[in-house]
Structure 1
Amino acid sequence: MSPTLKPGSVRFESVEKRFGAVVAIADLTLDIEPGTLVTLLGPSGCGKTTTLRMLAGLEQPTGGRILIGGRDVTQLPANERDVSMVFQSYALFPHMSIADNVAYGLRSGGKSKAEARERAEEGLALVGLVGYGARLPSELSGGQQQRVAVARALVLEPQVLLLDEPLSNLDARLRRQVRTEIRELQQRLGFTAVYVTHDQEEALAVSDRIVVMKDGAIAQAGTPRELYESPASPFIADFIGEANVVACEVVRIGDGRLAARLGGLVHPVSGAGAREGAARLAIRPNALFLQDHRPDGFEGRVASAAYLGDHIEYEVETALGRLFIVDPAIEHVRPVAAQVGIGLHERGVALIPA
């Protein structure tokens, strides 16, 4: 038997948070649908963790309202909000068994020892840790400890699960494994989750929607594909997956369509921000490729080349500026100072709205 999860909606209405004269969050309005995983993403100091802590009841807004499942929780303490939080540090009690750690919140909430133990075992089964209940946290790997923290949060049957940088203490390979497990669990059980990270790849991998924050405000919100393929600003283009942001001219070509001209290249563009005149183009590193000669492209000089196993990373000096290029053609490494032609693939190019 699995926990009975009733996914709740989340709404921030004109929420503001000040620390003295410093505005950490300014007029934040955001809706999160029940049963979705929404990631708050951004650089350090952007306000994502403050937003999560206000939702958890660990920080009090200085303005606006927060609603969970349609209920105004703005003035409620953390233990009355029907949310559970998974912390960056796992926060497991080292002297307690795994089963007792998972059951701790249930026992604190008044459940009997027998019921708490039964639900703790169900929670451990959810995260693939059947038979681990008698062990101590020190006997588990970092990934297993993180799964215990998730189980402990889920057995409380919250309307919303909050995850604060949950993978930051894991190595790169384990991060990929555990993020996949969290996403599969969320999709299988259908709970609402608000996930905080500064890792763009992690956000792309786990999210239904991503809310990118900058300077205490929402810079852009949308699906991972929307943010990657249609960035609304140079900041979004460079923050979500890296991009070369270059100047171009939008011109009308023979069939009436619009295209971006840069150097000797003309590339079709579309979208709400597409109109004739000077503009900027976000070009993903793998949308560029190198050739010995390309008469309809433009030229550059290799400034650096780094072999990374399945691809080579180049920095190339061009008339458009220094471009970062990821090239899968590992059999032909271009030496530093080599003159190269640069071409552009069809995908991985987005016009940035004015």
Structure 2
Amino acid sequence: MSKTAPGSVVFENVTKTFGSFTAIPDLSLTIEPGTLVTLLGPSGCGKTTTLRMLAGLEHPSAGRILIGGKDVTMLPANERDVSMVFQSYALFPHMSSLQNVAYGLESSGIKGKEARERAEDALTLVGLSGMGHRLPAELSGGQQQRVAVARALVLEPQVLLLDEPLSNLDARLRRRVRTEIRELQQRLGFTAVYVTHDQDEALAVSDQIIVMQGGKIAQKGTPRQLYDRPASAFIADFMGEANVLACTVTAIDNGTALVDINGLHHRMPCDAISLGPAELAVRPNAICLEPAKAGDGFTGKIIHSAYLGDHVEYEVETASGNLFVVGPVVETPLQPATTVAISLNNQGIAFIGM
């Protein structure tokens, strides 16, 4: 649909202060044209402030912002070649879907038949052909979200901004709509900057993820890089939940390391690690439990279990701290107070900061 080439986004040493509070201390990043990049992090990490500066809703206190190579640092929102999909959708309740989509075109001077045809094309693009006559109240949450996306795309922006776009949808609908947004972005090739606090959402839609903490970039990379090779305990736990275990690397041989975790000896792949103390990020489903026998090296005691249909969640007290474990065996779950032997799979384990 879009006739406008996707634009790059560059932040050069951007700082944003609110009075005496520095929300963004010194941010530099580059987003390549035609990619979907997610700003991810907990509340207060600076991701929404970063998006608002890109949209022109806030201005930096220092530094520069460029879109498609053009310095837009101090330009108002209506002079930037971006469109935004808001968390609340921000649809006009008294307008039909078609009128909502056409509104931005008409405000920019495109009227009548051309505006209507382009709005109809945009609705077709998001799977709402023939539904232009419906008011927002006559649409489901997912359909309203797609109208909001169509309204943003019809303006053919260099960059599409999405601010927590799925937070008002239920879990099943979130999965479906995030897939639709990703497929649309890949098909049309526009640049998208997506803000969320939901790790699963970020993993599912992104070419690159930028995890923010305290207004700074904690780590950036592909979803697999961040999940498999977390740079810190914060990243390991934030990207899909992880147990952080202290260990000792006792031997390295042909790309594998032998680690000792409180008596558990485990061999695992490694790229660049040294002998001595280290930390492991261990995903809950990488831990195997079975009733302990005499001589088992690393043991613990189950202090809580919860049946969740297709798996059982355990909390296990160990000498390395309490572990969160997801077990696949639901027919004969282990009971609280059971002493268990702990072993590890290779899938779902990584050295932190390696």
Q: Verify same fold: TM over 0.5.
A: yes
Please tell me the root mean square deviation across aligned C-alpha atoms, in Å: 1.4
Q: Which amino acid aligns with 2:246?
A: A
Structure 2 residue 157 is matched with structure 1 residue 158: yes
Any idea what SS the aligned residue of 2:7 has?
Answer: coil
Note the C-alpha offset of 1:253.
4.8
**1:1-354 alignment to 2 at 5 Å?**
2-253=1-252, 257-263=256-262, 264-272=264-272, 274-293=273-292, 297-353=297-353
Note the C-alpha offset of 1:48.
0.1
Any idea what SS the aligned residue of 1:27 has?
Answer: strand
Between the aligned partners of 2:296 and 2:156, the Cα distance in structure 1 is: 60
Between the aligned partners of 2:306 and 2:14, the Cα distance in structure 1 is: 46
Note the C-alpha offset of 1:5.
3.8
Between the aligned partners of 2:149 and 2:167, the Cα distance in structure 1 is: 15
| 2:210–2:217 CA contact under 8 A, matched in 1 | yes
Between the aligned partners of 1:243 and 1:267, the Cα distance in structure 2 is: 19
Task: Provide the TM-score with structure 1 as the length reference.
Answer: 0.97
- Stretches of 4+ aligned residues off by more than 6 angstroms: none
- Structure 2 spans left out of the alignment, 5+ residues: none
| 1:220–1:227 CA contact under 8 A, matched in 2 | yes
Between the aligned partners of 2:283 and 2:256, the Cα distance in structure 1 is: 22
Between the aligned partners of 2:79 and 2:342, the Cα distance in structure 1 is: 59
Any idea what SS the aligned residue of 2:322 has?
Answer: strand
Note the C-alpha offset of 1:257.
4.5
Q: Which amino acid aligns with 1:347?
A: Q
Note the C-alpha offset of 1:6.
1.6
Deviation by residue 1:60-82 (Cα, 9 ceiling, x = unmatched): 00010000001111011111110
% identical aligned pairs: 68
Any idea what SS the aligned residue of 1:179 has?
Answer: helix
Change (3 A) 1:72 1:253: closer
Q: Which amino acid aligns with 1:327?
A: G
| 1:287–1:347 CA contact under 8 A, matched in 2 | yes
- Structure 1 spans left out of the alignment, 5+ residues: none
Between the aligned partners of 1:149 and 1:276, the Cα distance in structure 2 is: 54
Note the C-alpha offset of 1:100.
0.4
Task: Provide the TM-score with structure 2 as the length reference.
Answer: 0.97
Q: Which amino acid aligns with 2:352?
A: I
Note the C-alpha offset of 1:267.
2.8
Aligned positions, number? 352
Between the aligned partners of 1:47 and 1:258, the Cα distance in structure 2 is: 37
Between the aligned partners of 2:282 and 2:92, the Cα distance in structure 1 is: 48
Between the aligned partners of 2:36 and 2:2, the Cα distance in structure 1 is: 18
Note the C-alpha offset of 1:353.
2.5
